[in-house]
A and B are shown apart, each in its own frame.
Chain A
Amino acid sequence: MIPSSFEYHRATSVADAVAKLAANDEAKIIAGGHSLLPMMKLRFAEPPCLIDINGIAELKGITVEGDYLVIGAMTSENELIASELVAQHCPHLVNVAKLIADPQVRNRGSIGGDIAHGDPGNDHPAVMLSLDAHLVLHGPDGERTVPANGFFLGTYWTALEEHELLVKVKIPVRRAGMGYGYEKLKRKTGDYAVAGASVVVEMNGGQIGDVRIGLTNVAPCAIRAEAAEEILRGQVPSDELIARAAEAVRDACDPAEDLRGDAEYKSNMAAVMFSRAMEKAIADARG
């Protein structure tokens, strides 16, 4: 399997990448390439031009700026797993990255590519929704920062404008009372999720102060289960409460039927993944 022909350009800086995007019609950015190249090999994607951002040093690196953990878009999954800053300020990302693909793929696959590709099967989009992350985008007119909530519009469709590049991800650092859980059902190592749920809870004493639920691969794009969040907010957690919220999670799903299962099965599995992730998040918050 070999992709169709394309032109290949190596970008040397963010400004250079944006200029090259503007100069080449229908060009695609290649980050880690582990979503895009497989699609190109299957000829599901046939971009006439690739702009490689692997050599851009400013797209790498993890820092803490104020209340945010700031992660360069080209930071690989294995770099997330190995990072002490991530372990300290958002251990959720370490757990998520460990569930993505396999060791070789994690050396190449990047957090930015995973988000910007817009594949509903990718894990970081739902995780970004639940973490209330912000995305820094760079275009011909400079930089803008947008919330992850609202960025995912459909399958392979995001709020990225033409000639815009995702450069950084900003994640609120862990606060007291915060707990995380990510649960992903997959058929085998390296597979996309049948269904996945990312839960970030903020406990306020014995009550759920705030909660955000992101769902992977059960809709045209990553979604927030807002009705379920409403059921949980301000309540004291119990099995009965989580079961009610799980029903709302199931109802929020709109999955495509494929080899991983039909819509009913996937929606039910999303509810199960949510319940487990929710229990984990509450336990995590209580330390």
Chain B
Amino acid sequence: MGKQAVSFKVNGKPVDVLVDPRELLVHTLREKLQLTGTHIGCESTHCGVCTVDINGQSIKSCTFLTVQADGAEVTTVEGLATADGLHIVQQAFVEEHGLQCGFCTPGMLVRAASFLKENPNPTEDEIRWGMSGNLCRCTGYQNIIKAVKTAARMMQEA
């Protein structure tokens, strides 16, 4: 069996790609669609830098076949900001300096945005649990947690 045609939406925009069934979503995003905001880290479903949303749910795109995305709505970090400016979660990460080297940041942002939809007013423990699928090799967790908390507050105020 050769390549398969797959159609889905990325950040609201319809895309059509032709892929081998074994192609992973993270590779399609980065190499075919040039959306390199989604990073490749551990490639083993641990680190969470490749986190994207599929139909509004966070997943790790290194453990998802592109053929499985047929008909889905995918949101990547490129889909967070709008013409009006940064997403609230991005602003909060800037304000709280929720990053050190920045490599894990795309995954953190996408997951945080999704988490705050699941739980708009989380406690610190809930944030730690909700963000536990994303690792920061710099161990900059304190400010990441602070940024998510700040984002929650900014959303309530908005």
- Give the B-binding residues of A (Cβ under 8 A): 1-8, 10, 33-34, 37-38, 41, 50, 52, 54, 78, 101-105, 107-108, 189-190
Contacts and interface: CB of A to CB of B under 8 A. Distances in A.
A5 B67 CA distance: 13
CB-CB nearest 9 A-B residue pairs? A102-B133, A8-B21, A7-B1, A104-B133, A107-B57, A189-B132, A3-B22, A104-B58, A1-B43
A6 B19 CA distance: 12
Contacts of A78: 57
Contact of B45 (A7, A10, A38, A54): A38
A33 B69 CA distance: 13
Contacts of A54: 68
B67 A8 contact: yes
Given A50-B21, A102-B133, A37 B44 contact: no
A37 B65 contact: yes
A8 B44 contact: no
Contacts of B111: 103-104
Contacts of B70: 10
B105 interface: no
A6 B48 contact: no
Interface of B: 1, 4, 20-24, 27, 43-46, 48, 51, 57-60, 63-65, 67-68, 70, 111, 115, 129-133
B119 to A, nearest CB: 11
A101 B70 CA distance: 26
Given A78-B57, A103-B58, 6 more contacts: A6-B22, A33-B65, A41-B44, A50-B21, A105-B133, A190-B133
Contacts of B57: 78, 107
A108 B44 contact: no
Contact of A52 (B24, B68, B129, B131): B68
Contacts of B58: 103-104, 107
Nearest to B47: A190
Contacts of A107: 57-59
A104 B115 CA distance: 10
Nearest to B128: A189
A1 B132 contact: no
A33 B63 contact: yes
A267 to B, nearest CB: 27
B37 to A, nearest CB: 17
A41 to B, nearest CB: 7
Contacts of A38: 44-45, 63
A5 B51 CA distance: 24
A103 B132 contact: yes
Given A34-B45, A104-B60, A107-B57, A5 B133 contact: no
B59 A104 contact: yes
Contact of A108 (B20, B21, B64, B67): B64
B13 to A, nearest CB: 23
